[in-house]
Structure formats: structure tokens, C-alpha cells
Structure 1
Amino acid sequence: MVRAPRGLRHRTRKLLRKNVRERGSIPPLSLLLVEYKEGDVVHIKINPSVHEGMPHRRYHGRTGVIVGRRGLSYIVKVMAGDKEKILFVRPEHLRLASSNQLKSI
């Protein structure tokens, strides 16, 4: 028997999958050139083709607030249950929220 995988992404086959026509493509430059400011509300949408700065899969689809910057990554504050988590996420995995008035997080 083969041992079951225990890696960080071993159960993400369906969660982190692109469409057939999008596979192997790099993200557009418009996503990389967005400058997020402190206090901006962002959604975490993991791009599986970029492995650097990828948050854990439990934060896929979560909404957070930009706290600051560290190198090329952004510091994002996310609520996970009743706890506050700090994530370091590259801009390829972030999208600006359409209603940016959710400053309560």
C-alpha cells in the first residue's frame, strides 16, 4: 500500500483547479499592478498557477482587510471564527472587494 499524502495541498484537486482553457496561463498584468492601500477590503481568491505567496486553502474565498505590506506581499487581516489571523499574501491571490465599506473587520 502507498501512504496517503500529507502535504499542504493534498486535498485541493477540485478546490484549486482552473478551467481547461485557463490552464497553464500566467495571471494578467492588470492583477499584478493593482496597488492596494491600507484599509482596503479584499477577497482571497487563490490562483493555483502561482505558488509563491499562496495562503492556506482554508482562507480561499475569505474577505480580509489590508494592514500593510511586506516585500512583494500584502499583510491581510482575516477573521477565522472568533480569532483574528494575519496572512502574507501576494497580489495574484487578492481581488478588491466591490463594496469597500466593510471596514469593521
Structure 2
Amino acid sequence: MVSRVTFLGDKHGIHSCFVCCLLWFVYIYLLLIFSFSVLILTIRFFVYSAGVVPLATYMRIYKKGDIVDIKGMGTVQKGMPHKCYHGKTGRVYNVTQHAVGIVVNKQVKGKILAKRINVRIEHIKHSKSRDSFLKRVKENDQKKKEAKEKGTWVQLKRQPAPPREAHFVRTNGKEPELLEPIPYEFMA
């Protein structure tokens, strides 16, 4: 007589090896679903650029307080930012030989935390977000200086675009069409 191993009250003839195989396949399936690396879904923004890194990248000067944009370069794996910081703007708080320390805002659930990260200089560049403001400051200083010499008042605040002035619209011989919604018709 051959003895059979029972598993969890094996009354329907299900062998324990079948259940073990089933559990093994479930385990492998869950591993495939929930196993991913740090660089998953990053092929779009960590794509390799052809050729060597331009030397201008290494000639840029970064100082404390500079505003920089973080953009990961796939050809340089050292000092790479995490994918959550790609495309973010931060402020330099520390400068070392090959890298800089940056303070970046990161949303964690309902909070925005100021995170300090270290990134190599290949993955950052100076931000142009403040250029238009600095240009406007210089223009306003020039306007104030000219107005002071003339003894007049000058408007320095930006004004919204005014409404368009009255003008004629030519139809070139075509009759204008009246656009209106179709009247509602109750269908019972």
C-alpha cells in the first residue's frame, strides 16, 4: 500500500506537491510584478547622447546661491541624481571639486521637504528662470534714472495687455454667418 501525504485536509486528492508548485509560481509571478530597479522607466530622460561630454560642461562656474536645473546625463553614471529629481530646479549650497550640493524641494505625500542632494556637474546647468527678472530689474533702474533726470513719474509695474482697439474686419465679399446653438427639441 502506497501512503499519501495529506496537505490541509487533503480530501479531494490534491497532492501537496501540486500546491507547492502553485505557491512557487505565485511567488515567481509576484517577483516579476514587484521587482524593479532604481532606473526603471528612466530610458526617456537618461538616454545616452552620442560622443563625449562637451568640455563647456566642465568650464561652467557654480557658486553658493546659484539656481541650477537638474538634468541627468546618461553617459555619465557617477554622481547621477535620482529619477525623482530629474527636471527639478534647486539652489547650490555646497561646491566640491567634481560635484555640487543642491537644495531641492520634493513632495512626500502631503508635505514638501527641502532635500539636500549631491550631484556631479555633468548633470546640472545654470537655470534661466531668473534671467527675465534680472533683465527687468536693470530696465527699471534705467527708467528710474531717466525719470529722475527729467523730473517725471514712470510706471514700473507690469500691466496686463489692454483690450484690442476698434477696427474694421474685411470679409472679402463673403457673407458673415451667424453661429448659434441648435434649439432643444423634446423627443418623447
1:70 maps to a residue whose letter is T
1:12 match: 42
Question: What whole-Å deviation, never above 9, does each CA across 1:50-75 have from its counterpart, x for those lacking one?
Answer: 00010101100000000012342100
Distance 1:99 1:6 in 2: 35
Match of 2:90 among 50, 59, 64: 64
| Contact 2:63 2:95 survives alignment (8 Å) | no
Distance 2:55 2:45 in 1: 24
What's the RMSD between the two structures over aligned residues? 2.1
Aligned ranges 1:1-105 → 2 under 5 Å: 3-4=31-32, 5-18=35-48, 22-23=49-50, 25-81=51-107, 82-100=112-130
- Give the C-alpha shift of residue 17 in structure 1: 1.8
The structure carrying a bigger strand percent of its residues is 1
For the pair shown, the structure with the greater C-alpha radius of gyration is 2
The structure carrying a bigger helix percent of its residues is 2
| Contact 1:40 1:100 survives alignment (8 Å) | no
Q: Equivalent residue of 2:57, what SS?
A: helix
Distance 1:27 1:16 in 2: 14
| Contact 1:74 1:88 survives alignment (8 Å) | yes
Q: Equivalent residue of 1:28, what SS?
A: coil
More contact order relative to length (CA 8 Å, sep ≥ 6): 1
TM norm structure 1:
0.80
Gaps of 5+ in 1: none
Quote the sequence identity (%). Answer: 28
Distance 1:70 1:96 in 2: 16
- Give the C-alpha shift of residue 10 in structure 1: 2.5
Range with greater deviation from structure 2 (67-76 or 50-59): 67-76
How many residues align? The count is: 98
| Contact 1:16 1:47 survives alignment (8 Å) | yes
Question: What whole-Å deviation, never above 9, does each CA across 1:75-100 have from its counterpart, x for those lacking one?
Answer: 00001121000010011000101134
2:52 maps to a residue whose letter is I
Question: What whole-Å deviation, never above 9, does each CA across 1:15-46 have from its counterpart, x for those lacking one?
Answer: 3224xxx33x2210101121101000000011
Change in 2 beyond 3 A, CA 1:99/1:10? closer
